[in-house]
Amino acid sequence: MNILVTGSGGQLGHALRRASAASADRYFFTDVAGDDTLRLDITDREAVERFVHEHAIGAVVNCAAYTDVERAEEDVERAELLNATAAGHLARAMKGVGGLLVHVSTDYVFDGTANRPCTEEAPTAPRSVYGATKLHGEEEVLASGCRYVILRTAWLYSEIGRNFLRTMLRLTEEKEVLRVVFDQTGTPTYAGDLAEAIFDIVEHRKYEGREGIYHFSDEGVCSWYDFARTIAEYAGNSACDIRPCHSDEFPSKAVRPAYSVLDKTKIKETFGIVIPHWTDSLRKCIGNIEKEK
């Protein structure tokens, strides 16, 4: 099968390159730029349909998204275009050829007021432009009538790109004192773990007859403060004094979920996926970064 991976220049796209390296399927990695990727503007409906037909694409993994949560509050049109309209283009293209769309969504579709892990059936009520546009993307996929697996994830990080892990590695090495919010709770997700899950589902055709919305993050629960302390510990940056603080001490345009722990029961039982604890994956990722220095 020929598989298109969009947004392949990002964290998840890079991780999917590694996961699929030995696959018997043929992968096409696209983005709007990059020397080692094919160029595809997924906001162009005709370009998407042309690419799908020319390359006989049987499945799409949509990793592309507008992920700048703060900037999205003012750049609403662009966020809607990338997170919703483009998802609709991909979904309708897959509907046209009878293919599968794996669409990556977010915990930001919830309002963050829950006091227990959110299931796939929990009411959605995004409180930010980013969350709203990602929910619109889900709705575009559902409305298309295509075969789909929507994967909601949270707190994604990896060895590359802009993410909380890399920021904390730098700051805990540079600063003597660092304040990190403790009143936002969720689960860090290593991009490599999510990529392996997607690859397993697609490579072994586990999605057949099991289309739907699923949640995936690593196991366990923590605050951003706990996450930062663990990063510093594993990296050996013990000189930095990391202190807890409230979210309102860092005013922002976007409202972030206070509690967005995802219930992964459905994906584990449906696809037989074993999910690592976030601390184990964090240690692995930091080890990879150290090796590359």
Amino acid code (one letter) for 182: F
Which domains are present in the chain? Answer: 2-162+188-220+261-276 (3.40.50.720)
Burial of 209 (0-12, 13-18, 19+ CB in 10 A): exposed
Query: pLDDT tens digits, residue range 203-214?
Result: 999 999 999 999
Is the separation of the CB atoms in 157 and 189 below 8 Å?
yes
Residue 5: CA count within 13 A, CB half-sphere? 23
CA separation, residue 140 to residues 91, 112, 231, 289 (Å) = 8, 23, 37, 37
Q: Which residues are part of the catalytic machinery?
A: 130
Is the separation of the CB atoms in 95 and 145 below 8 Å?
yes
pLDDT value of residue 34: 62
Alpha helical stretches, state H, 208-248: 224-235
Query: pLDDT tens digits, residue range 106-123?
Result: 999 999 999 999 999 999
The tokens for 224 are 């951003």
**Whole-structure pTM value:** 0.96
Distance, CA of 61 to chain centre: 11
| Segment 57-72 mean pLDDT | 97
Number of neighbouring beta carbons within 10 Å of residue 119 = 14
For 77, residues 6+ apart whose C-beta sits below 8 A from its C-beta are none
